[in-house]
Amino acid sequence: MHLILRIKPYFWLVLSITILLSISLAQAQSLASPTNLRARDVSHDSITVGWKTVRGAASYEVWLKGAGWTAASKKRKHTFQGLQPNRIYTIRVRAVDDQGNAGANSKRIKVSTKNIGQTIQSPPTQVDNLRATQTTHKSVSLAWDAVPGAVDYAITVNLIGGAGYDRNYPPYQVAAANVGNVASYTFNSLEASLRYTVGVAALDSVGSAIVASEITVTTKKLPVPQNVRLVSANATSIRIAWDAAPDAQEYRIFYGAAGGKKDGVEWTSNTSLTVTNLRAGAAYEFMIGSLRSSQFDYLQHMSYAKFTASTSAS
C-alpha cells in the first residue's frame, strides 16, 4: 500500500511569495546606517551635509524635517537650499541598494543656519602632523597641530588587524569621541599587540569638517609573566605557578615534551596550572603568554615566558 501526498498548486505559490518577501526584507535590512553625518558648509539659507560611504550602497537619500526624503543620489553629500535664516534644522541620511531597498537611518543631527549678514566661514582645514607620541599595550597617545577656526576635534579608532599578521582584519570601530578644543588626546582600554587606524577631524562651531587625517598605530605586547616556578610534581602531573603580569586578564599556556611539539594548550585566569596525564620521568616545556582579553587572541602576536619541569620517575 502506497501513501500518495498531494499538495495543491496554491501552496507552492504562497511558499514562493513568502521566500521572495523574506529575501527582499533581508536585502532591505542589509545596509548599515551611514556614520559621521556632519554639516560641511552652512549659510543663512543653505546647509550642505556629508557622511561616510556605506558598503553595498548604490545611492543615498537625505531627510530634512518638514520636507521629507530627497530623491536618491550617488553623491555622499547634499545641499538643502531655500532655508530660513537663524533656524535649527534636523537632518538624517540612509543608504539605498541597487534594488531600491533603503537601509537603516543614520543618527539625526541638528544644524542651525546663520543670520543674514553673518560672516560665512569655510570648514576647518584637514588636521596636519597627526602622530602617536606614546604607545603602550593598552593605550595610544596622540598629538596634532592645532587647526585655525576649529573648536572641537572628532576622533575614531578602528581595529584593522594583528601585529603578527600580514592580512588585514575587517575594520571594526572600537572607540570614538569628541575631545574638545585640544591638540592631544589619549585613548585607553585598547587590546595589546594589535593594529589600529586612528582618524582625527577638526570641527567648527556648527560641526563642519574636512575629511579626517589618519595614521596607523600598533599597541605593544603585554608583559610576560615573571617568576615561573615549579609548585609540585609526581609521576603523571606537574603544577606550575607565576607572578601576575600587569593588566593580564587571562593566560594561554602551550606545553609538550622537552624538545618536541607543544601540542598541549590550556587557558586560565589564575596564576597557576596543573597539567595531568603526563609520562613518568619525562621533561616538559611550558610557554606562558598574557592576554588582556581572548576576544582577539587569534590576531595577537604574543611573547611567552618559558619554563621546563620534569615528572618523577614513579
Confidence (pLDDT) at 6 = 45
State yes or no: pLDDT of 42 exceeds 60: yes
In order, the DSSP letters of the chain are --------HHHHHHHHHHHHHHHHHHHHT-SPPP---EEEEE-SSEEEEE----TT-SEEEEEETTTEEPPPBSSSEEEEESPPTT-EEEEEEEEE-TTS-EEEEPPPEEEEPPPTTPPPPPPPPPP-S-EEEEE-SS-EEEE-PPPTT--EEEEEEEEEEETT-SSPPPPEEEEEEE--S-SEEEE-SPPTTEEEEEEEEEE-TT--BPPPEEEEEEPPPPPPPEEEEEEEE-SS-EEEEEEPPTT--EEEEEEEETTS---EEEEESSSEEEE-SPPTT-EEEEEEEEES-STTGGG----EEEEEEE----
Q: Which of 191, 218, 245 is the last residue of a domain?
A: 218
Same domain, 7 and 82: yes
Confidence (pLDDT) at 99 = 87
Taking only the tens place, the pLDDT of each residue in 209-240 is 666 788 999 998 888 999 999 999 999 999 99
Same domain, 113 and 156: no
Band (294; pLDDT cuts 50, 70, 90)? low
Band (194; pLDDT cuts 50, 70, 90)? confident
Taking only the tens place, the pLDDT of each residue in 92-103 is 899 998 888 888
Confidence (pLDDT) at 28 = 45
Domain that holds residue 266: 226-310
Is the pTM higher than 0.85?
Answer: no
Taking only the tens place, the pLDDT of each residue in 60-114 is 999 988 888 888 888 888 889 888 887 878 888 999 988 888 888 888 887 777 7
Averaged pLDDT, 125-141? 90
Name which residue leads in pLDDT, 8 or 253. Answer: 253
Same domain, 244 and 206: no
Confidence (pLDDT) at 1 = 38
Confidence (pLDDT) at 168 = 57
CATH number at residue 244: 2.60.40.10
Q: Which of 61, 95, 120 is the last residue of a domain?
A: 120
The answer to whether residue 303 is domain-embedded is yes
